Amino acid sequence: MSLPDAPLRYELMKVDAVTGARLGRVTTRHGAFDTPAFMPVGTQGTIKGVLPDHVAATGSQIILGNTYHLMLRPGEKVVAALGGLHRFMSWPGPILTDSGGFQVFSLADINRITDEGVTFKSHVDGSVVHLTPQRSISVQNDLGADIIMSFDECPRADAPREYQRAAVARTLRWARLCLEAHHRPQEQALFGIVQGGTDLALRDECARTLIDLDFPGYAVGGLAVGEGFEATRAVLASVTPTLPVQKPRYLMGVGFPRDIVMAVAAGIDMFDCVLPTRNGRNAYAFTASGAIRLRNSRFTSDSGPIEDGCDCYACRTFTRGTIRHYFFAAEMLGPILVSLHNIRFFQRLMGDIRRAIGEGTFDRWRRSDPRAAMGPSSAEVAAASAVEPSDAPRAPMETREEPS
Amino acid sequence: MSLPDAPLRYELMKVDAVTGARLGRVTTRHGAFDTPAFMPVGTQGTIKGVLPDHVAATGSQIILGNTYHLMLRPGEKVVAALGGLHRFMSWPGPILTDSGGFQVFSLADINRITDEGVTFKSHVDGSVVHLTPQRSISVQNDLGADIIMSFDECPRADAPREYQRAAVARTLRWARLCLEAHHRPQEQALFGIVQGGTDLALRDECARTLIDLDFPGYAVGGLAVGEGFEATRAVLASVTPTLPVQKPRYLMGVGFPRDIVMAVAAGIDMFDCVLPTRNGRNAYAFTASGAIRLRNSRFTSDSGPIEDGCDCYACRTFTRGTIRHYFFAAEMLGPILVSLHNIRFFQRLMGDIRRAIGEGTFDRWRRSDPRAAMGPSSAEVAAASAVEPSDAPRAPMETREEPS
């Protein structure tokens, strides 16, 4: 399929009869991906510990890179000189970069926020960095991802209503500046981001203004930051019906299988989360019967795979006992193998979601498949029960990127 | 080829007309390997950071595991319960385990050495461990490698002559005990180890006594421990002509390409060394034109592969610029990719050595190929010139295993 002028084409194949779930396909200049899609996070130009051929083997069709991290190190000009982010990280398929907004607001040592942008200290060398909508787009133009994101303000979930209003105003002002600053609109699709916290009226106002600006796709930001599952669901139920049917919709930074299934039912097409890789590095493995922590002593001589029936490289190749040993011996293969399994777990979940939508059985599927209920509590309960006093301290289940 | 009673069969294909270089093939119950062979080191049940499919893709046909590390963690009984070392590390091909002797004498906190064995403190948990010839063989029987090694005493290179004599006497006493203790002689080939420092008469005495004991293969130990290149050459020139022609010969813990080429010329068939992986983790890459350190700032925007013309996964897939970034960002892919390249560098070297012996051109080849001269000094000079004051401190080129 040719893309003469557009950087992206979205095909809606099917809408579920019971829920708002959508089966679709997004085509970019670096290939296509099926939706609903899960994007593994390649913060610093790599899915941590997983070589690109193994990432592809998990069924991942699109991956995410972090503008904040890449602009600080090695710098977007270095990435551009090395041929752009696709060549840099040796991922020939579709890539999405975020705007840096989320990391700046959640991770950086912020000096100042104005209507022009944000001033913060680099976590790499302590230097003072100024990030504006124009700079975010310029960096993303240099990185060259297929989908790029508007620079938005991401307030805390508990920010007062007046702050949320001001943040939305700023996000909308910045969205216009991002559109103006975008120098590669034929090659890179710039998505707008709906903010507004849990205030449905504010969300609606933000969404409608962005829709008038005619972005090729829309994201819902500022969720999964502590507002709770029901609040997230209420926001999505309110926002997604407003968004254009013929454009892809992306829920940023989400999440647990339960959250993804709920958001798919609300009509979301794209997801990203560090859960599979971050928790994989902490020896937490996702399985259909719950999360397990492979450091647990009950796995010492366990000759089974991480998850029965899983077709990933880790499960086909190594026993739980060996992987447990790798974690205790601080061997890289521990984090590598569990990250790889967890990404495959998420991609199998997405494949099953797409299949169910295609077959018209999504609503039944989500009520019967145990994975559709896996959230932080069930995962943590499983993980906690798997940890004994003699084991190393348990790291919490985390969903956000780290600063370095 | 069936191996009705023997755990190992060595076929000598060709002896070089000018040097003592030998082209051969060793067949074990887990497959065959061509000699001269280089064995990457899988200390704790993994070639650090490199998944088995990538290890195999480097052309490695046999790998080495460390008895000392595996007996302390996870313990040989755990490895046996998980199906033995082949299954444990998912390496279906030939494996060799050392005896633990070298690590005990070089790494451990030794309490006592007697004619019965060595008492030392575990680096894992501080517990007191007693390692004897019987225990070393019992552990190696449980691990189940195709080739196992006698428990020997490895004195320092500068140990006085009397100490070397006593160590050889102990090594010979222990060699007999190892033969008696070996419970799987039909499946695992137990090699004897020639010690004796740089004392050629002592080496000769040790070799002849071991030959009378009729081991299926012989190793030369206690070299590359600081005695110098010429001393190593002198020992090999003296020892190897004594060893049986129809049995494989293994030079333990060696080494740089220069050392390997010299030892091949002296008639050695097998090598192991941590150089490719350890130096890979420190960002040192071997190339035909010398070692380079990928942290160097001159590689920041270098879009070439680690080594021009190399066919390894790292060189086919990533630029020097990206790999440099991975090291500065502390991403696992840096150590992984350079380890992988370095192993492939060593295997290409071994392949070229075997080809040259087969074609009768080994002596000409070793005089013309620049790799045949690569030793610690040339590698360090190249590495030093590649490091600038602003870069991180330079780690030395090391050839020995670390304790954990």
Residue B197 identity (one-letter amino acid): G
Whether residue B98 lies in the annotated active site? yes
Please tell me the distance in Å from B327's CA to the nearest CA on chain A.
11
> Looking at beta carbons, which residues of chain A come within 8 Å of B83?
303, 319
Give the nearest partner residue to B325 out of A52, A73, A404, using CB atoms. Answer: A73
Distance CA B3, CA B366 (A): 35
Let me know if B308 is exposed, middle or buried by CB neighbors in 10 A (0-12, 13-18, 19+).
exposed
Six-digit token string for B232:
């190593």
Q: Dihedral of the CA atoms A164, A166, A169, A170 (nearest 10)?
A: -100
Six-digit token string for B369:
């190929």
User: Which region among A314-318, B112-116, B217-221, B396-400 has the lowest average model confidence (pLDDT)?
Assistant: B396-400
- Closest-CA residue of A relative to B303 is A82
Six-digit token string for A33:
């991906």
Q: What is the tens place of the pLDDT at every residue in B305-342?
A: 999 999 999 999 999 999 999 999 999 999 999 999 99
* B224 vs B39, more confident: B39
Whether the pLDDT of residue B191 is over 70: the answer is yes
Check residue B156 and give its pLDDT. Answer: 85
Whether the pLDDT of residue A392 is over 60: the answer is no
Whether the pLDDT of residue B398 is over 90: the answer is no
Check residue A378 and give its pLDDT. Answer: 58
Please provide the DSSP assignment of B161-203 as one string.
HHHHHHHHHHHHHHHHHHHHH-S-TTTSEEEEEE--TT-HHHH
In the block, which residue shows the tokens 């992206």?
A8
- Closest-CA residue of B relative to A92 is B317
Check residue B106 and give its pLDDT. Answer: 83
> Looking at beta carbons, which residues of chain A come within 8 Å of B332?
46, 48-49, 332, 335-336
Q: What is the tens place of the pLDDT at every residue in B355-367?
A: 999 999 999 999 9
Whether the pLDDT of residue A221 is over 50: the answer is yes
In the block, which residue shows the tokens 């890289």?
A332
Check residue A302 and give its pLDDT. Answer: 98
Check residue B393 and give its pLDDT. Answer: 34
* A403 vs B295, more confident: B295
CB pairs A-B closer than 8 Å = 130
Please tell me the distance in Å from A323's CA to the nearest CA on chain B.
9
**Active-site choice (A16, A34, A98, A259):** A98
Q: What is the tens place of the pLDDT at every residue in A252-284?
A: 999 999 999 999 999 999 999 999 999 999 999
Distance CA A285, CA A298 (A): 15
> Looking at beta carbons, which residues of chain B come within 8 Å of A330?
404
pTM of the model: 0.94
Separation in Å, CA A169 to CA A176, A202, A213, A389: 11, 10, 14, 50
The confidence band for B400, taking pLDDT boundaries of 50, 70 and 90, is: very low
Side-chain half-sphere CA neighbours of B322 within 13 A: 31
Side-chain half-sphere CA neighbours of B229 within 13 A: 13
Distance CA B286, CA B203 (A): 33
The confidence band for B394, taking pLDDT boundaries of 50, 70 and 90, is: very low
**Active-site choice (B16, B34, B98, B142):** B98
**Under 8 Å between Cβ of A216 and A251:** no
What is the total residue count of chain A?
404
> Looking at beta carbons, which residues of chain A come within 8 Å of B300?
74, 78
Q: What is the tens place of the pLDDT at every residue in A285-300?
A: 999 999 999 999 999 9
DSSP state of A283: T
- Give strand pairing partners of A64: A41, A96
Whether the pLDDT of residue A361 is over 50: the answer is yes
As a whole number, mean pLDDT of residues A54-65 equals: 98
Residues of chain B that touch chain A, judged by Cβ-Cβ distance less than 8 Å: 44-46, 48-49, 51-54, 69, 73-74, 78, 81-83, 87-90, 300-301, 303, 313, 317-319, 321-322, 324-326, 328-333, 335-336, 404
Q: What is the tens place of the pLDDT at every residue in B332-380?
A: 999 999 999 999 999 999 999 999 999 999 999 999 999 999 998 755 5
Domains defined for chain B, CATH in brackets = 8-274 (3.20.20.105), 280-378 (no CATH)
User: Which region among A18-22, B221-225, B262-266 has the lowest average model confidence (pLDDT)?
Assistant: B221-225
What rounded mean pLDDT belongs to chain A?
92
In the block, which residue shows the tokens 């602003």?
B390
Look at residue A287 and give its three-state secondary structure. Answer: coil
Whether the pLDDT of residue A385 is over 50: the answer is no
Under an 8 A CB cutoff, do B326 and A78 touch?
Answer: no
Whether the pLDDT of residue A328 is over 90: the answer is yes
Distance CA A47, CA B52 (A): 19
- Give strand pairing partners of A22: A15
CA-wise closest residue to B232 among B265, B191, B205? B265
Six-digit token string for A103:
């990391």
Side-chain half-sphere CA neighbours of A172 within 13 A: 18
Whether the pLDDT of residue B98 is over 50: the answer is yes
Distance CA A321, CA A306 (A): 9
Whether the pLDDT of residue B384 is over 50: the answer is no
As a whole number, mean pLDDT of residues B188-204 equals: 97
Distance CA A136, CA A150 (A): 8
Whether the pLDDT of residue A155 is over 50: the answer is yes
In the block, which residue shows the tokens 């081991």?
B215
Separation in Å, CA A58 to CA A256, A348, A352, B232, B333: 18, 8, 14, 49, 18
User: Which region among A119-128, B233-242, B268-277 has the lowest average model confidence (pLDDT)?
Assistant: A119-128
For B273, phi then psi, to 5°, come to -165, 145
Distance CA A389, CA B321 (A): 44
Q: What is the tens place of the pLDDT at every residue in A229-246?
A: 999 999 999 999 999 999
Whether residue B152 lies in the annotated active site? no
In the block, which residue shows the tokens 């290409």?
B348
Distance CA A54, CA B57 (A): 14
Distance CA B340, CA B204 (A): 38
- Give strand pairing partners of A129: A120
Distance CA A4, CA A20 (A): 31
Q: What percent of chain A has pLDDT over 90?
A: 86
Check residue B3 and give its pLDDT. Answer: 62
User: Which region among A387-391, B58-62, B73-77, B280-284 has the lowest average model confidence (pLDDT)?
Assistant: A387-391
**Under 8 Å between Cβ of B86 and B63:** no
Contacts of residue B162, Cβ cutoff 8 Å, sequence gap at least 6: none
The confidence band for A397, taking pLDDT boundaries of 50, 70 and 90, is: very low
> Looking at beta carbons, which residues of chain B come within 8 Å of A69?
329
Check residue B2 and give its pLDDT. Answer: 53
Whether the pLDDT of residue A374 is over 60: the answer is yes
End-to-end Cα distance, chain A: 39
> Looking at beta carbons, which residues of chain A come within 8 Å of B42?
none
Look at residue A245 and give its three-state secondary structure. Answer: coil
What rounded mean pLDDT belongs to chain B?
92
Under an 8 A CB cutoff, do A322 and B90 touch?
Answer: yes
Give the nearest partner residue to B322 out of A89, A313, A319, using CB atoms. Answer: A89
The confidence band for A379, taking pLDDT boundaries of 50, 70 and 90, is: low
Give the nearest partner residue to A45 out of B325, B330, B332, using CB atoms. Answer: B325
- Give strand pairing partners of B189: B147
Please tell me the distance in Å from B17's CA to the nearest CA on chain A.
44
CA-wise closest residue to A216 among A263, A175, A172? A175
Distance CA A258, CA A251 (A): 14
Please provide the DSSP assignment of A347-390 as one string.
HHHHHHHHHHHHHT-HHHHHHH-GGGG--HHHHHHHHHHT--TT
Which strands make up the sheet holding B8-15, listed edge to edge?
A: B8-15, B22-28, B31-35
Residue B66 identity (one-letter amino acid): N
Phi-psi region at A99: left, alpha or beta (left = phi > 0; alpha = psi -120 to 50): alpha
Q: Kindly report the number of other CB atoms within 10 A of residue A162's CB atom.
A: 8
**Active-site choice (A16, A34, A259, A272):** A272
Q: What is the tens place of the pLDDT at every residue in A305-325?
A: 999 999 999 999 999 999 999
Under an 8 A CB cutoff, do B325 and A74 touch?
Answer: yes
The confidence band for B226, taking pLDDT boundaries of 50, 70 and 90, is: confident
Query: Between helices B229-239 and B200-212, what is the axis angle to 10°?
Result: 40
Under an 8 A CB cutoff, do A48 and B331 touch?
Answer: yes
Under an 8 A CB cutoff, do A303 and B48 touch?
Answer: no
CA-wise closest residue to A262 among A21, A26, A34, A18? A21
Under an 8 A CB cutoff, do B81 and A322 touch?
Answer: no
Whether the pLDDT of residue B182 is over 70: the answer is yes
Check residue A2 and give its pLDDT. Answer: 53
The confidence band for B45, taking pLDDT boundaries of 50, 70 and 90, is: very high
Check residue A109 and give its pLDDT. Answer: 84
